[in-house]
Structures are given as structure tokens and as C-alpha cells.
Chains A and B, each alone.
Chain A
Amino acid sequence: DVKVTQSSRYLVKRTGEKVFLECVQDMDHENMFWYRQDPGLGLRLIYFSYDVKMKEKGDIPEGYSVSREKKERFSLILESASTNQTSMYLCASRGGTGTGGNQPQHFGDGTRLSIL
């Protein structure tokens, strides 16, 4: 079974702090994704990566950056946290290369981040 592990289930930070959310997958997947989930809005894509050191902006990248130095690890960075970034953050990985869009995405259990 694919396992996607997010480093923290709950996190509380203060405005202006630099925040790191870590995600590790154990299935050698090429593709990894970061989403935020807010009530009534579904999942919105922040950034994704098709390969090591490669990243692409999703639909809501503002205020975020990512890092993928190793294939199994994809980090989301909030450069200067703000209260409107309080949310549930979900990491996912997907097998297949290129346009393998029919492959399922495998999700971690999420990090509930509160910015005070």
C-alpha cells in the first residue's frame, strides 16, 4: 500500500513566521502535490512537482513556495504566515509519468494549520 506521511497533524504558528510542512511518500512516485482544503471550497492545488527539483504553480500559489530535493520528499513553505493561510493542508502523490492523469492520487492525512 502507498503511504504518504505528513510530518504534523496539527500545527499552530504566529503571523509572520516561516512555516515548513513536510511530506514523504514511500512508493517511488514521480508526482507530488500540495492542496489546501477549506469548507465549501473543496481541494485547491497550491503547487505540484513531476520530478526532483521540478515544481509548477497550481491554482493558488501566492504566499507559498515548495522544495523537492529528493524524490520521496515534497515540502511546502509559507514564507511569512498570515491568518488567511489557516487551513487543512493535504499532500498527495501519484504514480505514472507525463499525462498519467487517470492514476489515483494517494493522500496523506493532512496537517491542520492555525496561524494566530
Chain B
Amino acid sequence: TQLLEQSPQFLSIQEGENLTVYCNSSSVFSSLQWYRQEPGEGPVLLVTVVTGGEVKKLKRLTFQFGDARKDSSLHITAAQPGDTGLYLCAGGPYNQGGKLIFGQGTELSVKP
């Protein structure tokens, strides 16, 4: 069974701080997606990375796919209270159609 280990599970920081969330696996994935979920809502896609070593930026969020396609990171610069939420990484395994394997999630709280 392929697993995605996401860390940390909880993160509480002050506004303006930087943070990094990690997503690691021993398996290779064809792609890696990051979702954000707010209370009472379903997850919403932030980004998809598909090439080993790929870096994508979304305003203050930087996403990286590892060279070996086994890991990914999400870095937030100068966090804002509006960044508060649950961040989920999800890997697309090879030869398993459109299935996604989800990490456990990182609960981020940014205090003003």
C-alpha cells in the first residue's frame, strides 16, 4: 500500500512567519496535488506538480516536487490569518487510473 506521510500534523504560528509543510513517500508518483480545506467545506485544489524538481508559485505559496517524484513541500512566506486551514497533499500513483493517495493533512493556524 502506498502511503504519503505529511508533517507536521499541526502548526500554530504568528502572522508574518514563514512555514514549510512536507509530504514524503517511499513510492514514486506521477503527480502530486496540494489541496486546502476550510471548516465546513470540501478540499479545493491549489496546485498540481507533475515533473520531478518542478517548482510552482501561487502568490506567497511555493510548491516543490522532489527530483525523484517521491516527496513534495509547501512553503508559505509571511503567513496571514487567511492562510488558516487544513492543507492536504495527494499523490497520483502510476497505473492506478485517477486514484489519489492523500496525506494525513496539516492543520495550520495563523494568529494575528
Contacts and interface: CB of A to CB of B under 8 A. Distances in A.
A90 B44 CA distance: 12
B97 interface: yes
B42 A109 contact: yes
B42 A101 contact: no
Interface in A66-92: 90, 92
Interface in B49-97: 50, 88, 90, 92-93, 95-97
Interface string B20-55: 000000000011010000001111110010100000
Contact of A105 (B45, B103, B104, B105): B45
A109 to B, nearest CB: 5
A29 to B, nearest CB: 10
Interface residues of A, number: 31
Nearest to A105: B100
Contact of A41 (B30, B41, B99, B104): B104
B99 A42 contact: no
Contact of B97 (A43, A44, A101): A101
A50 interface: yes
Interface string A27-62: 000010001000011111100101000000011000
A68 to B, nearest CB: 15
B105 A101 contact: no
A104 B33 contact: yes
Nearest to A48: B99
A59 B1 contact: yes
Given A41-B104, A102-B31, A104-B33, A90 B42 contact: yes
7 contacts: A43-B88, A45-B100, A99-B95, A102-B31, A104-B33, A105-B43, A109-B41
Interface of A: 4, 9, 31, 35, 40-45, 48, 50, 58-59, 90, 92, 94, 96, 98-110
| Top 9 A-B residue pairs of the complex, sorted by shortest distance between their CB atoms | A107-B42, A101-B92, A104-B45, A42-B102, A43-B102, A42-B104, A102-B31, A101-B98, A107-B43
